[in-house]
């Protein structure tokens, strides 16, 4: 079985800017994959190459085994991309746009049931006959997502679909996308909301300055990089120098440490004991993707 | 759950394997054409009615002012002479306006991405935009003709020639509109195309006069203007006479169309300004 996406040593240069520095990535069919990274990491450039909107300087990408340059027709037929920008065609209503979009991919009336399903799944049914211009920002975002799904692509790429979107839509969107994933569609998501990636995605890739700096299952990443978070209420004290390297944040006498393993708890506590600092309260929790993200990409960005 | 997921993904992979895929077929480009047609039809007041009114104003004013002052062909009254020229000028300008404005709007609005993400080939893209431009040009031309019939008795000597020039002319300007739409990044650049190329060429093409009434130098210069051949050939179809042979005009227009079409296809294939 071909992987949903195979990215092979992709480079992209914009003049002197080396935006992508040899990306290798394979995403299997049926995966729910998150691509994370700060602004300017190269996520959108990578997605644009995947979608055929930008040409790579070197390397190749295939979708379900079809090269996105040499076999672009097959590759694009299998791919649905939600653009990041909130773009729309002011001449048409939602249903017309969806029918056109499906039509470009060779789908006709037989696709109408699927269009209805998308409209319902994204809460657009009562806006189906509304002109795109008259939709609110959130509704435009839904229509944008609907357009990418109109031809029922096997691989769905969502480039920051929830940026500036209310909670209700986010939940509705994820419910629908999860359903599509269970039905076998491969989902690739870029997002700034790390809790979304953590809740939804089985595997995560993190990008920084045009490179992939971490690629693993969400669970492994959480274990490997951040381990535990130890939050201690210590009051207005001066922290011993030996603990500074573990300190993640400090606010109102509450100190948060990032620990890679349990043994470090003993180290922290003994250092505090030696400095005669009293622990007023203690809270130990699992690290989240945000901690992983910060430890990998946050420090220099 | 896991098993269900595996079997489902197997389903998708067989139904979406892409095996035997033959592109978006006929329906893909047809949909794009339909969208382009609806786009101008939705605002027909601006895209069809307005140019018809403009042409009629030209007709009323110029016919009134110049009739009797300008000598055109022997035995052809000036008003009758003017009508085919005005029709063709509107056909050409509207064919250009259709493809160029659609492309620049989609580029500025960003919604061209919806077409760029599809399996449509560069040739299908070209044909869809071209046909929409031709149809807009022909619809405007036909409307002007029908309205002008109320005022003047118009006789067509060779309908086939009229249709051939209208078709080739609108195709040529539709193609030029695609080039302009791809090249321009902003509305003011597009306006420059309109004001500095399309308008001068169409006004200096013999719409309002026969170039035989011009001094030799301006006659020669007019003969370098491709618009002249489109207007003259089109007019030949009405009266059975013109400034040059319709065959010459047909060849010049045909070759120009071929050259521009090849340039456009090359631009589209390379992704010039559309795919970075």
Going from N- to C-terminal start, the domains of chain B cover 41-270
State the pLDDT at residue A299.
54
CB pairs A-B closer than 8 Å: 129
**pLDDT tens digits for B97-110?**
999 999 999 999 99
Average pLDDT of B208-213? 86
Strand, coil or helix: what is B110? coil
What pLDDT does residue A226 have?
56
pTM above the 0.90 mark? no
Question: Would you call A184 and B11 a contact, using CB atoms and an 8 Å cutoff?
Answer: yes
Q: Which residues of B touch A108 (CB under 8 A)?
A: 27
By the 10 Å C-beta count (0-12 exposed, 13-18 middle, 19+ buried), A11 is classed as middle
pLDDT in tens, chain A (301 residues): 899 999 999 999 999 999 999 999 999 999 999 999 888 899 999 999 999 999 999 999 999 999 999 999 999 999 999 998 899 999 999 999 999 999 999 999 999 999 999 999 999 999 999 999 999 988 999 999 999 999 999 999 999 887 777 888 888 889 999 999 999 999 999 987 777 888 899 999 999 999 999 899 888 887 776 577 889 999 888 888 888 888 888 888 899 888 877 888 899 999 999 999 999 999 988 777 777 777 777 654 3
pLDDT band at B73 (very low <50, low <70, confident <90, very high): confident
- Partner-chain residue, chosen from B24, B106, B121, that has the shortest CB–CB distance to A106: B24
Q: What domains can you pick out in chain A, each with its CATH number?
A: 5-222 (3.40.50.300), 227-298 (3.30.70)
Residues of B in contact with A53 (CB under 8 A): 113, 116-117, 275-276
Report the candidate in A27, A17, A91 with the shortest Cα–Cα distance to residue A61. Answer: A27
**How near does any CA of chain B get to the CA of A245, in Å?**
42
- pLDDT computed for residue A4 by the predictor: 97
Are B8 and A72 an interchain contact pair (Cβ–Cβ within 8 Å)?
Answer: no
C-beta atoms of A1 and B42 within 8 A: no
- B255 to chain A, closest Cα gap in Å: 31
Q: Tell me, what's the pLDDT at A260?
A: 76
Q: Do B275 and A53 touch (CB under 8 A)?
A: yes
Asked if B113 and A53 come within 8 Å (Cβ–Cβ), the reply is yes
In B, which residues are within 8 Å of A51 by CB distance?
A: 117
Whether B128 shows a pLDDT value over 70: the answer reads yes
When pLDDT is averaged across residues B183-189 and rounded to a whole number, the result is 95
Indicate if the pLDDT at residue B174 is higher than 50. yes
The band of B5, judged by pLDDT with boundaries at 50, 70 and 90, is very low
Asked if pLDDT for residue B13 goes beyond 60, the answer is no
Predicted confidence band at B6 (pLDDT cuts at 50, 70, 90)? Answer: very low
Pairwise CB contact (< 8 Å): B5 & A184 = yes
**Chain-chain contact of A52 with B117 (C-beta, under 8 angstroms):** yes
Asked if B27 lies within 8 A of A51 by C-beta distance, the reply is: no
User: Are residues B119 and A103, on separate chains, in Cβ contact within 8 Å?
Assistant: no
Structure tokens, A36: 């994370």
Tell me what pLDDT residue B183 has: 96
Mutate to test the interface with A, among B117, B120, B121, B274 (most CBs of A within 10 A): B117
Contact B59, B83 (CB under 8 A): yes
Report percent pLDDT > 70 for chain B.
91
Kind plus residue range of the DSSP H or E element containing A155: strand A155-159
| Rounded Cα–Cα distance for residues B184 and B188 (Å) | 8
Which residues on chain A are in Cβ contact (under 8 Å) with B18?
A: 64-66, 74-75, 77-78
Tell me what pLDDT residue A259 has. Answer: 83
B19, pLDDT greater than 60: no
Which of these, B243, B106, B239, lies nearest to B178 by C-alpha position?
B106
Residue A100 with chain B: CB contacts under 8 Å: 31-32, 34-35
Q: Can you give the pLDDT at residue A251?
A: 87
| Residue B14, pLDDT score | 44
B169's enclosing H/E stretch is: helix B159-183
Sheet holding A186-190, edge to edge: A79-82, A155-159, A186-190, A32-36, A203-208, A211-217
């Amino acid at each position: 079985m071909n992987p949903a996406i195979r990215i092979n040593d992709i480079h992209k240069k914009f003049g002197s800017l080396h935006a992508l520095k040899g990306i290798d990535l394979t995403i299997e069919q049926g995966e729910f994959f998150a691509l994370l990274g700060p602004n300017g990491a190269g996520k959108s450039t990578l997605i644009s190459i995947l979608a055929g909107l930008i040409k790579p300087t070197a390397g190749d990408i295939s979708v379900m085994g079809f090269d996105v340059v040499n076999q672009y027709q097959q590759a694009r037929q299998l791919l649905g991309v939600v653009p990041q920008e909130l773009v729309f065609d002011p001449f048409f209503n939602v249903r017309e746009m969806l029918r056109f979009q499906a039509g470009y991919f060779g789908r006709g009336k037989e696709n109408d049931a699927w269009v209805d399903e998308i409209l319902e799944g994204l809460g657009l049914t009562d806006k189906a006959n509304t002109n795109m211009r008259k939709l609110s920002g959130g509704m435009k975002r839904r229509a944008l997502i609907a357009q990418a799904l109109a031809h029922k692509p096997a691989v769905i790429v969502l480039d920051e679909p929830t940026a500036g979107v209310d909670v209700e839509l986010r939940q509705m969107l994820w419910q629908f996308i999860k359903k599509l994933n269970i039905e076998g569609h491969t989902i690739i998501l870029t997002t700034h909301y790390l809790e979304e990636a953590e809740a939804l995605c089985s595997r995560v890739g993190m990008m920084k300055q045009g490179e992939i700096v971490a690629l693993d299952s969400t669970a492994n990443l959480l274990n490997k990089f951040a381990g535990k978070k130890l939050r201690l209420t210590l009051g207005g004290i001066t922290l011993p120098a030996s603990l500074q390297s573990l300190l993640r944040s400090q606010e109102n006498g509450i100190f948060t440490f990032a620990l890679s393993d349990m043994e470090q708890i003993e180290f922290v506590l003994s250092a505090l004991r030696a400095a005669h600092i009293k622990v007023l309260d203690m809270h130990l929790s699992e690290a989240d993707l945000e901690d992983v993200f910060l430890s990998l990409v946050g420090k220099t960005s | 759950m896991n098993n269900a997921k595996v079997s489902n993904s197997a389903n998708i992979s067989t139904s979406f394997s892409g095996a035997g895929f033959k592109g978006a077929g006929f329906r893909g480009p047809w949909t794009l054409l339909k969208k382009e047609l609806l786009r101008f039809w939705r605002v027909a007041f601006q895209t069809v009615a307005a140019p018809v009114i403009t042409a009629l104003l030209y007709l009323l004013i110029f016919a009134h002012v110049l009739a009797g002052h300008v000598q055109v062909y022997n035995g052809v009254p000036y008003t009758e002479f003017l009508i085919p020229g005005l029709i063709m000028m509107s056909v050409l300008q509207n064919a250009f306006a259709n493809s160029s404005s659609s492309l620049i709007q989609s580029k500025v609005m960003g919604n061209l991405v919806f077409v760029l993400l599809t399996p449509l080939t560069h040739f299908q893209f070209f044909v869809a935009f071209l046909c929409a431009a031709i149809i807009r040009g022909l619809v405007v031309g036909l409307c002007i003709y029908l309205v002008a019939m109320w005022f003047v008795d118009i006789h067509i000597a060779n309908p086939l020639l009229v249709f051939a020039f209208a078709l080739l002319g609108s195709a040529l300007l539709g193609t030029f509109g695609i080039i302009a739409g791809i090249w321009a990044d902003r509305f003011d650049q597009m306006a420059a195309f309109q004001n500095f190329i399309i308008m001068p060429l169409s006004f200096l093409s013999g719409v309002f006069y026969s170039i035989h009434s011009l001094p030799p130098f301006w006659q020669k210069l007019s003969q370098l203007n491709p618009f002249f051949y489109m207007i003259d050939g089109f007019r030949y179809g009405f009266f059975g006479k013109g400034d040059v042979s319709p065959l010459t005009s047909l060849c010049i227009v045909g070759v120009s169309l071929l050259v521009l079409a090849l340039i456009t296809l090359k631009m589209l294939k390379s992704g010039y300004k559309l795919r970075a």
